[in-house]
Structure 1
Amino acid sequence: MISSAHAAPPSVPSVPPLTGDWGGPQVRLQLTETGGKLDLACASAIIDMPVRPDAAGKFVVLGRYDSFTGGPTPADAAPAMAKAHFDGHVEGDTMHLSVHRHGEKAAENYTLERGRRVKLIRCG
């Protein structure tokens, strides 16, 4: 007889991470199986983990955010990356994404479409 204390946990189907290019007005998101890169007009962000929506299409992931200003930047200036978390939900080919920068009260909200190509005009 096998003890229930040593029984294997029930198998939970693993949801594959979202991948590919997503775009919206002045926002571009490139997702891979390990994370992603978000480009905005005056900022960029790195998502440090796979984006795996739950059964309702919701997700929360961690990463880093770097905002920049117009004008020249010294070549040796280190990025001012700050902690951030990203949450949202996916409905079909549409993603609603909120970016929460550490220390900021207000979130930045974006609507992106899978496969939409975007040409960003950087702040200058």
Structure 2
Amino acid sequence: MHRLAVLLLCAWLAAACALPRPAAADRALGSALEGRWGGAHVDLQLSQSGGRIEYDCAEGTLDAAVVPAADGSFRVPGRHVHGHGGPARIGERLPSRPALYEGRVDGDRMQLRIRVDADTLGPYSVQRGAAAQLFKCL
């Protein structure tokens, strides 16, 4: 009888290990998004502590982790730096403005808007693991 119980336990463990991993949409609530998200005119790199974003002619930081609510929505404070055409001068520091990054995640897709002062940038559509299509300002 003991041998049968051990065999059943081993079979159950093997079956459990063979189950597919949950999709991104099935991840536990409260988990921070991570990894590279790319799309037209935007490249977003997320980590457990925040992120960096690059646009065609700007860049910014997300100063907290992106943790979607139950409906997929999120709001994260950060900074935005508007770029300019031409090469950057050695040691040049462009002014940084407070920004609010907000959007909605659905599986491996994200809709993103950035509020800077009275302006709204976007919406941008990005996908987890996709390459960005940036056109740097000249």
Distance 1:52 1:78, change over 3 A: same
* Cα displacement string for residues 7-42 of structure 1 (whole angstroms, at most 9, x for unaligned residues): xxxxxx861100011011021100000000111000
Structure possessing the higher radius of gyration over alpha carbons: 2
Report deviation, 1:56: 0.6
Report deviation, 1:120: 2.3
Aligned residues: 111
Question: For the aligned residues, what is the CA RMSD?
Answer: 1.5
Q: Is the 8 A contact 2:38 2:133 kept in 1?
A: no
Aligned counterparts of 1:118 and 1:107: Cα–Cα separation in 2:
17
Aligned-residue sequence identity (percent) comes to: 33
In structure 2, the partner of 1:50 is: 65
Q: When the two structures are superposed, what TM-score results if normalisation uses the length of structure 2?
A: 0.75
Aligned counterparts of 2:65 and 2:102: Cα–Cα separation in 1:
12
Gapped regions of structure 2 (runs ≥ 5): 1-27
Q: Is the 8 A contact 2:76 2:100 kept in 1?
A: yes
In structure 1, the partner of 2:102 is: 87
Give the 3-state SS of the residue equivalent to 2:125 in structure 1: strand
Gapped regions of structure 1 (runs ≥ 5): 1-12
Question: Which structure features the higher share of helix residues?
Answer: 2
In structure 2, the partner of 1:117 is: 131
Q: When the two structures are superposed, what TM-score results if normalisation uses the length of structure 1?
A: 0.83
Give the 3-state SS of the residue equivalent to 1:106 in structure 2: strand
